[in-house]
Structure 1
Amino acid sequence: MAGIAEVNPANASDVTYQVLSFNQLDGWAKDDHEKALKVFLNTCRDMKDPDWRALCQFAEADPEPRQFFELFFRPVLIEDGQDALFTGYFEPELDGDLYRSARYRYPVYKMPPEALRSNPWLTRREILSSDVMAGRGLEIAWVDDPVELFFLQIQGSGRIRLPGGRSIRVGYRGSNGHPYRSIGVELVRRGVYDAHQVSAQVIKNWVRRNPVQGRDLLFHNPSYVFFREVSKVPADQGPLGAMNRSVTDMRSVAVDPRYVSLGAPVWLEKDGKNPLRRLMIAQDTGSAIKGAQRADIFFGTGDRAGRAAGKLRDPGRMVVLMPIQRAYALLPESAI
């Protein structure tokens, strides 16, 4: 789906649309539009709507990048009454093996058939506190850290370093159908930390220092993610996003597809400690990414990217670039 058909939020009456001009986008002229165009081309061929496919054909004809976006798109500010929030995600790297051992004893699972048929299926606690997965050959690999495995599920993809130097890649296959619940928010609710103190690294350290309470904290999130091996993706490319194409660090974002068409360019004006003004492409989704002004920025692979992504929690504004006729079609007749 694409274009207007995808803008189908649950409470449509609360959603507003405002068509802007490009000179209303802070920092627009200073961005590297060529980099954004290359990322757009990575997925635009997979967009089904005729309007988007026509734009993709123009993009393939090697246009001047900034002129391409300004000529064929209009910026649309979509708001649903919720404050904008930008966070970050990354592709983690875990240590593991293809065989269970004393060190590698935490399984990365394929999706069982009954989880496909039943939505929702068992909760995280029910899956990990029973033998429902045992003896079925559903293990892709085994890793050495249950906390890192938990965060692998939050990120939805990652690399597992095997003994001997080889790696395999895993990507999101599906979930048990239960809603994601933030364990960071739960730590704040329990009075362990204030909201400004919570980050991924802080959570990991607390769980490791408090193994019994930590295990219970992880169970607070009933959502459980299953994986598939995607090692055919070249090592120098990013993990597969929701469009089944590699995402690009600092140019790809995860969005709520109820409001933003997957594959659409989006202009981010992220405020906070390190302001960012950049044209990105909406190529991914996430269970925690809900709302018209909600986006998750892909930071790259490995610990360094993870530390940067884990610290990000900033306000700002996101503007969607839409094909001209679709942008104006969203407005009420009185506004045209």
Structure 2
Amino acid sequence: MKALLCERHGPAETLVIRDLPMPPPGPGEIAIAVKAAALNFFDTLIIENRYQTKPELPFSPSAECAGTVAALGEGVTGWRIGERVAAWLGYGAARERIVIAADEAVRVPDGLSDAQAAGLFVTYGTALHGLIQRAGLKQGETLAVLGAAGGAGLAAVEIGALIGGHVIACASSADKLALAREHGAQEVIDYTVEDIRAGLRVLTEGRGVDVLYDTVGGDLAEPALRSMAWEGRYLVVGFAGGAIPKIPLNLLLLKGCDLRGVFWGDFVRRDPAAQRANMERLLDWAAGGHIRAHVHAEIPLERWVEAYALIGDRKAKGKVVLTL
């Protein structure tokens, strides 16, 4: 089988495609013929050894995939060959076949493409976990999303609007903000031309933001935190801006607000039942058209450098997916 491999740490150009033996499923496992493997911002970090997850070399990137059941291990019930399936691995999905525990896979409903299904886990899974389990976003509350047109931010815009939040999309260009509006944002701020703190103050009529979903970090974090409402919840999701901000803790005291981490990967490990329920909910929403699961580009595995560049250069609006 073909596999995209990181054999030494470095930029995307250092990855290689190798032919590897086809792995058989063991007891309680299924083999999946991968049709689509989605990329995320952390895929640009993990291959350079700059991410908190540090796999042993060599490894395949891509944390999530969709395809069909190719083989069943001993004792597996409830699955049949050829069924459409999606899975979260953490890393290792950019290859033609993977093997996982049967209870870690979820069925893909009709009407949802492989690329859409592959891209739901990290961005939409994080958004649902963050907005529901971590923030407890309520209908009518204000939700501001930093980096609102990337895969992670766009998912939060869609889910926030779906569960009744008043969504303010914050992004770095007019076309990105237009995309966020298409996905449910009611208000927008271009933080390259407008002061984000002032903009949020105006759009919330001075009351502040109830929930802030921050995928960017960097220089935007402190002014965004200063824009929180009393008892607001600031969700730390990622650092696509490159820098991890240093937060003045006195702001939490003065605002009476919370700073909450959203570590979806560990949530999956610690509460697999809740994670499965979240994913089944998301897949049903996507199949029913309630969320669009926007895919920016589907790129053949052999053109992985192009796919990585879309993410690294912050040109992706929605998900970038490698196809096999």
TM-score, normalised on structure 1?
A: 0.22
The TM-score with structure 2 as length reference comes to: 0.23
Larger RCO (CA within 8 A; separation ≥ 6): 1
* Structure number with larger C-alpha Rg: 1
